[in-house]
Amino acid sequence: MHADPFVRDLVVLLGLAAGGLVLFERLRLPSIAGFVVAGAAAGPAGLGWVTDPDRIRHAAELGVVFLLFEIGLELPLETLRRHLRDALTAGAVQIGGSLTGMALLAWALGFGGAAAVALGMMAALSSTALVIRLLSERDQLRSPRGQLILGVLLLQDACFVPFLLAIPLLAGAAGASFVDVSGKIALTVAAAVLFFAVVRGVVPYLLERVALLRSGELFSLLAILLAVGSAFAADSIGLSPAVGAFVTGLVAGASPYAHQLVAEVVPLRGALLGLFFTAVGMLFDPNALVEAWPLAVALVLGITVVKAGSASLAVAGLLRRGWRAGLGVGLPLAQAGEFSFVLASAATAAGLLDQQTQSVFIGASVLTLFLTPVALPAANWLASRGDLRDTGAAASVDEEQSGHTVLIGYGLSGQSVGRVLRTLGRDYVALESNPNAVRELSQRGEPVLYGDAMRPSVLRRLGVARAGLVVVAVNDPVATGRVVGLVHQLAPSVPLVVRSAHVASVDQLAASGASSVVVDELEGTLELVGEVLGRYGTPQEAVHRFTDALREEGYVAIRDAPTLPLDPWLVEELEQVSTEWVDVPGVFAARDLATLDLRARTGANVLLVERPGGRHPNPGPTTTLHAGDRLLVLGSAEQVSALRERLDDARPNADPRATDETALP
């Protein structure tokens, strides 16, 4: 039995990619360079373990699809609109300048006009996958500079289809007139508009319908289907698959389900991107570079200098951001892209380039990919001193938010906490796994998102590490324990308040990282105890002091065996002298304090009398009490209870023997 060649090649590449990643991380070198080196070693020009790179490359391109889908999910549409004009300006100048500059360089090197323009188009496109990956690793993608670079990359990807359609026109193929190519470009633009309209109408509906089914497996399948299906649909109508995935992600990112979608695609994206860069490395042929090294050197220098220069000129000149900011944008874009390889193949098939030139261009392009991670620190340094600082405002509110409260579980308890926080003007964000609740609450303007709190990526997107407090109010006890452990692992210094249904879980949750645990069972018991004490005349302040002491001790007194007596210090909490508000009965014969003789008969001291006319502190013996007054009384529980009884006795006809002041004992 023989293994399928595709499966064998896939296993070889995955193994080499893993080895290259480990080696380069130990050497503190960019992981992408490790993937490319591993691919070069396995490819036809290396050890020859993989003889057909195209067989793997098409599958590996799914990594770019998932990357662009994720970027769309994480990028608010309003942010994209805010940076659109600058991105279009810089992108148009960068693409036009790169195309023109490289075409002139190729013409000077002896290429014909059509071939020179083809080389210019190939060099004008940068590597979206590489640049976005590098910026994401350094948390720079949502900075003003990152947003500008992303806009330029997306514009380049959008130009791929017109460039591809122009290849036959340059080659003078039969029937490839300017009118035909212009018509195809117009159809492509119309297809893009139609694609966006369909995605905007269908994707939110699909997300809501699938989420309502409450099936985690089905939601995972939907996430993959949206990413891959949108790329396939875009490719079928003549659009770039990467742009199709980005547009779909952008639309889905406006829904409350974006956090969970990101959690579903991130693991696949990482693996497929590693495979993609390994497949790119297989295209590297050092023999072709050695044989035509002057051309290779010219192409490497031309691609890096022309592309960095054109982008820098656009940012520094047209956008007036300064040359430091210009280089901070231009250097990350100074490489050939994954779509450049496709254009090179098309130009060779059309007869514009020979096989050797294609190999040299691909080899030189791979070298520019190696140079980008090396040049990025310099770009970051320059950008930090220019007018596009990465420390500026981030693109999304979530990325800026810190010190907020994260509510995990937004049922009755979570909503009650949210209502209090909203009243106090405190920032908070809630996570709920019930799609019905998410839909209804989102329509009311509540900051609630759909997602599974047992996914670390979802918790990271909620900003638990930057939060001031995390509250877990999940009904499932097993899920509660797992969520508490994950939150504590991601944010060990953030206070974590947990609601639990049963007393048996208190110790386990505390060991998992909970700062405090509120137990429904025990809180109900405390409420019951407090109600009983109140019925026996215990002042409310003493009751509150007693129940607070029980909570601070972790409910130990309640959790002990019922035959054991309460600790004496707890009893003292009830007996301590404290202040308490006491209401004068609604039916009350007005009498002054001297007549009532409250101090002598009860031991309690009246500190203040409150009535509609105002407050009267330190009342004297002649102060008269009226029905409806409120008294601030100082005394023990027994003394306050005795004072209440004394006031009750002062009611008319409270006792047949007490009908007037003289009869009051």
pLDDT at 239 over 80: no
CATH class of this structure's domain 401-514:
alpha beta
CA distance 252 to 246: 10
Q: Looking at residue 486, what is its pLDDT?
A: 86
640: part of which helix (H) or strand (E)?
A: helix 637-649
Q: Looking at residue 393, what is its pLDDT?
A: 34
> Which residue intervals of the chain bear CATH 3.40.50.720?
401-514
Q: State the amino acid at position 601 in one-letter form.
A: R
Average of per-residue pLDDT across 533-537: 67
Question: Does domain 577-665 match CATH 3.40.50.150?
Answer: no
pLDDT at 307 over 80: yes
pLDDT at 305 over 80: yes
Average of per-residue pLDDT across 221-249: 82
CA distance 298 to 173: 29
Confidence of residue 665 (pLDDT cuts 50, 70, 90): very low
Residue 59 structure tokens:
């599958």
pLDDT over 70 percentage in the chain? 78
Q: Looking at residue 29, what is its pLDDT?
A: 65
Q: Please, what is the average pLDDT of the chain?
A: 77
SS3 390: coil
Q: Looking at residue 179, what is its pLDDT?
A: 64
Q: Looking at residue 180, what is its pLDDT?
A: 63
Average of per-residue pLDDT across 436-458: 81
Q: Looking at residue 178, what is its pLDDT?
A: 59
Of 195 and 136, the structure prediction assigns the larger pLDDT to 195
pLDDT at 663 over 50: no
Say if residues 467 and 428 touch (Cβ distance below 8 Å).
Answer: no
Q: Looking at residue 396, what is its pLDDT?
A: 37
pLDDT at 538 over 70: no
pLDDT at 66 over 70: yes
> Which residue intervals of the chain bear CATH 3.30.70.1450?
577-665
Confidence of residue 76 (pLDDT cuts 50, 70, 90): low
Q: Looking at residue 394, what is its pLDDT?
A: 35
pLDDT at 336 over 60: yes
> Which residue intervals of the chain bear CATH 1.20.1530.20?
5-383
Q: Looking at residue 560, what is its pLDDT?
A: 56
Confidence of residue 589 (pLDDT cuts 50, 70, 90): confident
Report the range out of 176-190, 216-230, 296-310, 414-428 with the highest average pLDDT.
Answer: 296-310
Q: Looking at residue 398, what is its pLDDT?
A: 47
Of 497 and 503, the structure prediction assigns the larger pLDDT to 497
Question: Does domain 5-383 match CATH 3.40.630.30?
Answer: no
- Per-residue pLDDT tens digits for 96-114: 888 999 899 989 888 888 8
pLDDT at 281 over 80: no
DSSP labels for 82-149? HHHHHHHHHHHHHHHHHHHHHHHHHHHTT--HHHHHHHHHHHH---HHHHHHHHHHTT-TTSHHHHHH
Confidence of residue 660 (pLDDT cuts 50, 70, 90): very low
Average of per-residue pLDDT across 631-652: 82
Q: Looking at residue 574, what is its pLDDT?
A: 57
- Per-residue pLDDT tens digits for 376-420: 777 777 666 554 544 333 333 344 567 888 999 888 888 888 888
Residue with tokens 């209090």: 420
Q: Looking at residue 501, what is its pLDDT?
A: 76
Least confident of 311-315, 466-470, 518-522: 518-522
CA distance 291 to 487: 57
